[in-house]
Structures are given as C-alpha cells and as structure tokens.
Chain A
C-alpha cells in the first residue's frame, strides 16, 4: 500500500515518461517523415516538461521576483517562497535548440521531397535500392 501511494504521489513523472515514450515510438515506428519530426518535437518537450517540474515547489511558491527588492534591504529572503529559476533558464536554451533542429529537419524534408517526390521512408529506401541495383 505504501508503494502504491508513492507511485500515485509521483503521477507527474509517470506522465512525462508516457509522453517521452509516445515521441520515441513515433520516431522509430512511423514510416512518414513528418510524423517522425512530430515525434521528435514531443520527445523534446517531454524532457523540458520534466526539468520545469523539478523547479516547482508545493505550498504557494511564487515566480522568482524578490518582494521589496528596492530600498529596504533588511528583509531576509526565504527561498521556500520562490520557485527555482535555474531550470527555467536552462530550458529556455533547450527550447531555442528545439526550434533550430526543427527548422533544419523541415529543410531536409523539403530537399528529400524535391529529389524523390515522396515523404514515406520505405518508398525512399526502395527508390534508393533500385538506383543502386542498376
């Protein structure tokens, strides 16, 4: 019973693992190249979601802007009142990297369509095999 409570209390981590596996499945098992890119996007956002969730705190923690920051320096800052801003900053960089990989993938997709006139991976592989067979 204790183990069950532990598993249920960490439900958000299970959801992130489910999302990550959905993206991984789409990257491996789908034949269409656009579906593979969708899977890559889902995989990356699942990892970002996991990191952001490690920053949040229970019990009314607010965004990291210090109250009474100007003027009175007498207040003692209690870190339990603010969410941790370090994973947010790291994941901002990860979002930018995600969009740049997405742009490169779309560009490669357009080049492949121009050359082979299809978006299905198995059709491209069969065209390549017949070209090599000649």
Chain B
C-alpha cells in the first residue's frame, strides 16, 4: 500500500463525511454519501480487499443511494440542520 495515496483518500473521505452531515439539502446529502462510499471503495481496493470493495460499490454506493433518493422523493427534501 502507498501511504501518500492512502492519506489523500482518507482526507477526502473525512471531508465528504463532514459535508454529507452538514449540507442543508437532503438530496445533496444522499449524493455526498454515495461519493463517500465510492471513495471508501477505492481505499479498500488500495488496501488489497477487492471483495469488500466491490460489495461496497454495488451495495453501499449503488443500492443505498437509490433507496435514499427514492425515500427522499416520497417524503421531503427540506431539513432544518
């Protein structure tokens, strides 16, 4: 594993997590959570865990984001915090 790549990916992951919980629009929050999942998937591929990485890519980034967007369209996009 290359530690520079590891460090840069970890910093972007933390930034995505903070953005996903602090943004005021729930649809943006769902998209940022999908980006967070894809970055984690890159991190796991880089660590040599390819099986976990493709499970996360299909299930964490794909299905979860689709469920999230569906739930938000059935309810409301607005949030107070």
Residues of B within 8 A of A38 (CB): 20-21, 29, 33
Interface string of B1-37 (1 = CB under 8 A from A): 1000011001101100110110000100100010011
B67 to chain A: closest CB distance in Å?
Answer: 6
Please state if B14 and A18 are interface contacts (CB–CB under 8 Å).
Answer: yes
Residues of B within 8 A of A119 (CB): 75-76, 79
A55 to chain B: closest CB distance in Å?
Answer: 7
A117 to chain B: closest CB distance in Å?
Answer: 9
B29: nearest residue on chain A (CB-CB)?
A: A38
| Interface stretch (choices A58-66, A70-78, A124-132) | A58-66
Residues of B within 8 A of A48 (CB): 52
Interface residues of A (CB under 8 A from B): 11-12, 15, 18-19, 22-23, 25-26, 30-32, 34-35, 38-39, 41-42, 45, 48-49, 52-53, 55-56, 58, 61-63, 83, 87-88, 91-92, 95-96, 98-99, 102-103, 106, 109-110, 113, 118-120
What are some 7 contacts across the A-B interface (CB < 8 A)? A11-B7, A22-B17, A26-B21, A42-B17, A98-B60, A118-B76, A120-B79
6 additional contacts (CB under 8 A) given A39-B21, A61-B48: A15-B14, A34-B71, A42-B33, A55-B48, A83-B49, A95-B60
